[in-house]
């Protein structure tokens, strides 16, 4: 009896792996889609649309839900400091450059201070993006409650599908993809340096990333492929999630840049470095900005090496904004290839809130989401203009990415997620007001 049970379990496992390899893994290796994901997404969209209509009918007081809720509770003016202070002075007109202080100016700073206390522009970028309607995964700030039995049944069926069918499938695909990545790159590392080794390495990398992407039911739309990063360049992109790497590496190979890790991540890093010139830094090196720049500059100078992939924000932002780009990536020289990534939050929250979830918890959330749907735009290459410093160049690239991706362009440093506001930011506001009063530029 015991032998029969093991035979049955072994048979089920064999069938499971055969179906997995034949319908998902092998098509993914050759970049071919059999259309299952497309059909799944279409059914999912119809289901979510029906759920939204059902919720709208069930809540009489909320007749219509907006397509996109504002990301916040405060409606801020788009005007500059000078324009807003001029509005305050209209009742008692006084020229801004007359060297006089007007008491009404105080209200501008009081208003800004209260706005920041209630809801500042930084911390809200590190919380999950609000949805216009419940996506049958989590509840949003709309406070959806019990609506109908049918909606509850659909939600329960979704839980069963996501945890009992999709989760085992996705975990299996992730294990296969990462295992092949480690084994394949380790074996390629034994080959002598040649164009054949580079070709095999690129093939292994892109194949394994495609398998991992199938493990997230990823639907990725790439736009303007003629602008894809080329060898000897630097690819910079906005950063929402660790899976940004998987999303980009599905359409091309990159040299990764990052800190050396231990554990399983360290095993993967060491294996990848054997077959491809990825740039991994020790913790002590990361603190030496000049050493980092030197190694990156040497990499870019070799036009036979893969383009470097860098996320200049230095931290994950919640898919609504682009925050300050660190200037180090733009001091190296060479051609910058900007890339804008925008996820569709309807199917799952791709943002990694590292302060709330560790990597394992985050990956579990991703693998139990409906799917990962995103758009990737390759922007025209950009170079540093004559007389332009690294800071202005970084801001120009950031603005182009924000405009293309429909993201809010913020000048704040993403490091404020864990640090206090720099004194220089406070002094900048003081200098701006002072120059307005005394009439200086």
Q: What tens digit of pLDDT does each residue of 17-44 get?
A: 676 676 677 677 777 777 778 888 888 8
Measured over the CA atoms of residue 124, residue 218, residue 252 and residue 290, the dihedral's sign is positive
Q: Could you give the 3-state DSSP secondary structure of residue 235?
A: strand
pLDDT at 286 over 50: yes
Q: pLDDT confidence of 146, banded at 50, 70, 90?
A: low
For the full predicted model, state whether its pTM sits above 0.85: no
Q: What tens digit of pLDDT does each residue of 89-127 get?
A: 665 555 544 456 676 677 777 777 666 666 666 777 777
Report the chain's terminal Cα–Cα distance, integer Å. Answer: 89
Q: pLDDT confidence of 438, banded at 50, 70, 90?
A: low
Q: Residue 119: what pLDDT? A: 65
Higher pLDDT, 265 or 246: 246
- Contact present, 212 and 286 (Cβ < 8 Å): no
Q: pLDDT confidence of 69, banded at 50, 70, 90?
A: very low
Weakest mean pLDDT among 61-65, 114-118, 224-228, 420-424: 61-65
- Contact present, 371 and 40 (Cβ < 8 Å): yes
Q: Residue 341: what pLDDT? A: 96
Q: In sequence order, what are the residues at sequence separation of 6 or more whose Cβ sits closer than 8 angstroms to the Cβ of residue 410?
A: 121, 122, 125, 321, 322, 323, 324
Give strand ranges (E) for 192-231: 218-223
Higher pLDDT, 287 or 9: 9
Q: Rounded CA gap, 88 and 100, in Å?
A: 15
Closest CA to 406 of 356, 335, 340, 331: 340
Over residues 374-403, mean pLDDT:
92
Structure tokens at 394: 């970084």
Q: Residue 8: what pLDDT? A: 72
Q: Residue 61: what pLDDT? A: 45
Q: What tens digit of pLDDT does each residue of 173-192 get?
A: 888 888 888 898 889 888 88
Q: Rounded CA gap, 403 and 17, in Å?
A: 44
Most confident of the following: 37-41, 164-168, 375-379, 407-411: 375-379
Q: Residue 18: what pLDDT? A: 73
Q: Residue 221: what pLDDT? A: 93
Q: Residue 117: what pLDDT? A: 61
Q: What are the residue ranges of helices labelled H in 250-330?
A: 263-275, 283-286, 289-301
């Amino acid at each position: 009896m015991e032998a029969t049970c093991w035979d049955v379990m072994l048979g089920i496992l064999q069938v499971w792996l055969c179906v997995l390899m034949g319908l998902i893994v092998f098509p993914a290796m050759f970049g071919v889609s059999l259309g299952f994901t497309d059909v799944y997404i279409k059914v999912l969209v119809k289901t979510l649309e029906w759920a939204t209509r059902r919720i709208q009918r069930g809540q009489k007081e909320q007749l219509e839900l907006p397509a996109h809720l504002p990301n916040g509770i405060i409606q801020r003016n788009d005007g500059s400091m000078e324009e807003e202070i001029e509005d305050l002075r209209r009742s008692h007109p006084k020229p801004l450059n007359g060297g006089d202080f007007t008491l009404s100016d105080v209200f501008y700073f009081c208003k800004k201070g209260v706005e920041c206390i209630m809801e500042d522009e930084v911390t809200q970028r590190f919380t999950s993006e609000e949805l216009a309607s419940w996506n049958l995964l989590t509840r949003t700030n709309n406070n959806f409650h019990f609506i109908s039995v049918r909606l509850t049944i659909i939600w329960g069926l979704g839980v069963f599908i996501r945890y009992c069918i999709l989760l085992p499938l996705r975990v299996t695909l992730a294990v296969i993809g990462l295992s092949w990545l480690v084994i394949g790159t380790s074996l390629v590392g034994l080959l002598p340096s040649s164009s054949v080794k580079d070709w095999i390495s690129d093939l292994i990398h892109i194949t394994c990333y495609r398998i991992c992407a199938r493990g997230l039911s990823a639907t990725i739309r790439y736009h303007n492929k003629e602008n894809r990063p080329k060898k000897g360049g630097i690819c910079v992109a906005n950063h929402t999630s660790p899976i940004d790497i998987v999303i980009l590496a599905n359409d091309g190979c990159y040299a990764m840049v990052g800190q050396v890790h231990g554990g399983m991540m360290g095993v993967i890093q060491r294996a990848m470095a054997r077959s491809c010139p990825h740039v991994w830094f020790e913790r002590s090196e990361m603190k030496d900005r000049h050493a980092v720049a030197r190694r990156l500059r040497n990499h870019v100078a070799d036009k036979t090496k893969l383009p470097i992939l860098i996320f200049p924000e230095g931290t994950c932002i919640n898919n609504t904004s682009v925050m300050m780009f660190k200037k180090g990536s733009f001091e190296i020289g060479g051609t910058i290839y900007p890339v804008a990534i925008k996820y569709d939050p309807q199917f799952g929250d791709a943002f990694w809130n590292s302060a709330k979830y560790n990597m394992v918890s985050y990956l579990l959330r991703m693998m139990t989401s409906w799917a990962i749907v995103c758009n990737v735009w390759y922007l025209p290459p950009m170079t540093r203009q004559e007389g332009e410093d690294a800071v202005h160049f970084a801001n120009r690239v950031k603005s182009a990415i924000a405009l293309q991706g429909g993201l809010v362009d913020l000048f704040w440093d993403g490091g404020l997620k864990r640090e206090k506001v720099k004194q220089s930011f406070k002094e900048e506001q003081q200098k701006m007001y002072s120059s307005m009063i005394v009439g200086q530029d």
